[in-house]
Amino acid sequence: MLYITILNFMIMYRSRLKKNLNEITLEYVSSLFDDAEIAFYDIAGSQAHVIMLYEKKIITKSDAKKILVALERLKKEKFDKKSDSEDIHELIEQHVIKKIGMASGGKMHTGRSRNDQVSLDIRMKIRDDINLLCQCLLNMIQTLVSLAQKHQKTIMPLYTHLQQAQVGLFSHYLLSYTDALFRDLERLYVTYGRVNESPLGAGPIGGTSIPIDRQSTAKLLGFKGIVENSIDATSTRDYVIEYVAAVAIIMTNLSRLAEDFVIWSTSEFAFIELPDEFTSPSSVMPQKKNPDILELTRGKTAQVIGNLTTILSIVKGLPSGYNRDLQQIKPSIWSSSRIAITALIVIKSMLEKINVDNQNMKKAMEGGYLVALDVAENLANNGIPFRTAHQIVGNLVKTAHISKKSLEKLSIDEIKRSTKGIDPKTIKKIIDSTSISSSLQNRISQGSSGISEQKRMIQHRMDKINAYKTGITKRGNEVKTVFSNLTLKVKSLTK
């Protein structure tokens, strides 16, 4: 008897096909391993569907009850990835039928298809991942802003082309990543709206004659609406592309930050020291303290970019409707989420313990002519055309560099050679009154390294954190409530 049942299951979807897949072909075709990530969502989606089938009087209460109980039990079971099913959808239906029999269990899949089902599961999974990522981003932003608050007076050189450019502040640097990560957060925040639409009930591609209610399942699962067109609902993965692209952008931001920190932690720079627990040793060189975590952030970013490329390549040439190629998208999504979530957690914890060497940052500016632009601007503020001022200071730097001295050590005679008709004494006075600290005091343009701007920006970003906190917590709670309400509904229907 048992033998017959098992045999039946093996051919559950294969009634038209005379032979089963052999072991190696099954493994080639199966997505069961990757489907572990959506098992929970698949069960929840099926429960919502069954509740709707019952409420629309498409199946009886008794059938619905049996299916719901079987599904609820499955939530607690470990899935055997070694199964004859091709995917989680088949496996779950198989389990339900095995437990309660074909007469009731066989009704679970009425009015839907695996094609809407798989997209539904992916959407619910991405929805949760977005909420988690938003939370991680917000935590990281908070850490950056707190660190910026501590380093509002930590002077450092700013670089372009990796050459010293202007005098700056470490807080300003940290706030630049704060803003980049805020954009990442905003991007995910709006992507959520496009992910949070239900494809359930679209059927294989053209809908169904069974009088299902797509709006009701969407509501039960917390979606803000449905992906209306059933061809679109089953074919599109644009929401996946959008999500993974947003994740790839997060990673490129983290990767750039990682690169700065790799450079700054070298003994040549020594601007920062990484905490021991975030570095790796060498197997031979006892002195080594390698920034492996930062390097891996760069490496894993490449992986996420690869994931995005994989997904785009799968989608770009597909004809409309479901095609099995789409199955290969899933591991790229899971991998991208996992990488970005852990990267944000790890880098945030590392930042909290980083040692910043104010002295070395300041020392690096010695002999760097970093105030050159400030001198030129001070000349410009005295009515000299900026282009002339630029030429004067350029010449002064050249003279100073040849005689290996700083600008303020230049004599009146040396200055005379490059005055372009301006009184050398005026130039000397301006050079003498221009220093690193005056430069930072006078930098008043909005968003600049100026001291006053730091204070303003920090306060503004702190308010922004609080505003987002409310929205993100609310969204997370909404999804949690949806799933607990669904469980409650299942309970009340099955008692």
The answer to whether residue 161 is catalytic is yes
Which segment (3-11, 302-310, 325-333, 438-446) binds ligand ARG by CB under 6 A? 325-333
In contact, 240 and 122? CB cutoff 8 Å: yes
> Which one of 15, 161, 267, 445 is the catalytic residue?
161
Question: How far apart, in whole angstroms, are the C-alpha atoms of residue 70 and residue 393?
Answer: 81
Per-residue tokens: 222 = 């917390």
Q: Does the footprint of ligand ARG cover residue 327 (CB under 6 A)?
A: yes
Chain centroid offset of residue 260 CA: 20
Which segment (232-240, 246-254, 266-274, 326-334) binds ligand ARG by CB under 6 A? 326-334
Q: How far is the CB of 342 from ligand ARG (least distance, A)?
A: 24
Q: How far is CA 456 from CA 24, 155, 157, 447, 462, in A?
A: 63, 18, 21, 9, 10
* CB of 95 or CB of 330, closer to ligand ARG: 330
Counting residues that bind ligand ARG (by CB under 6 A) gives 11
Q: Does the footprint of ligand ARG cover residue 322 (CB under 6 A)?
A: yes
* CB of 235 or CB of 327, closer to ligand ARG: 327
Q: How far is the CB of 185 from ligand ARG (least distance, A)?
A: 30
* CB of 31 or CB of 439, closer to ligand ARG: 31
Q: Classify 329 as helix, strand or coil.
A: helix
Question: How far apart, in whole angstroms, are the C-alpha atoms of residue 114 and residue 201?
Answer: 10
Q: Which of 66, 114, 125, 443 binds ligand ARG (CB under 6 A)?
A: 114
Q: Which of 67, 70, 118, 430 binds ligand ARG (CB under 6 A)?
A: 118
Q: How far is the CB of 89 from ligand ARG (least distance, A)?
A: 6
Residue 268 — φ and ψ, nearest 5°? -65, -40
Q: How far is the CB of 118 from ligand ARG (least distance, A)?
A: 4
Question: How far apart, in whole angstroms, are the C-alpha atoms of residue 388 and residue 391?
Answer: 5
Q: Which of 133, 326, 343, 370 binds ligand ARG (CB under 6 A)?
A: 326
In contact, 71 and 43? CB cutoff 8 Å: yes
Residue type, 334: W
Place of tokens 């957690």: 345
Q: Classify 119 as helix, strand or coil.
A: helix
Q: How far is the CB of 340 from ligand ARG (least distance, A)?
A: 22
Residues numbered 49 to 108 that lie near ligand ARG (CB under 6 A) are 87, 89
Question: How far apart, in whole angstroms, are the C-alpha atoms of residue 40 and residue 30?
Answer: 18
Question: How far apart, in whole angstroms, are the C-alpha atoms of residue 146 and residue 356?
Answer: 14
Which segment (127-135, 318-326, 415-423, 441-449) binds ligand ARG by CB under 6 A? 318-326
* CB of 65 or CB of 89, closer to ligand ARG: 89
Rg, the chain, Cα only: 31
* CB of 30 or CB of 255, closer to ligand ARG: 30
Q: Does the footprint of ligand ARG cover residue 112 (CB under 6 A)?
A: no
Place of tokens 């009886």: 60
- The HSE-up count of residue 456 (CA atoms within 13 Å, CB side) is 10
Residues numbered 359 to 388 that lie near ligand ARG (CB under 6 A) are none
| Degrees to nearest 5, angle at CA 451 with 450 and 453 | 65
In contact, 169 and 449? CB cutoff 8 Å: yes
Q: Does the footprint of ligand ARG cover residue 324 (CB under 6 A)?
A: yes
* CB of 114 or CB of 300, closer to ligand ARG: 114
Q: Which residue is nearest to ligand ARG (CB)?
A: 87
* CB of 324 or CB of 474, closer to ligand ARG: 324
Q: Does the footprint of ligand ARG cover residue 125 (CB under 6 A)?
A: no
Site string for ligand ARG, 329-348 (x = CB under 6 A): -x------------------
In terms of Cβ atoms closer than 10 Å to its own Cβ (0-12, 13-18, 19+), residue 66 is buried
* CB of 116 or CB of 129, closer to ligand ARG: 116
Per-residue tokens: 491 = 């309970």
Write out the catalytic residue numbers: 161, 282
User: Which residues of the shown chain bind ligand ARG in the complex (CB under 6 A)?
Assistant: 31, 87, 89, 114-115, 118, 322, 324, 326-327, 330
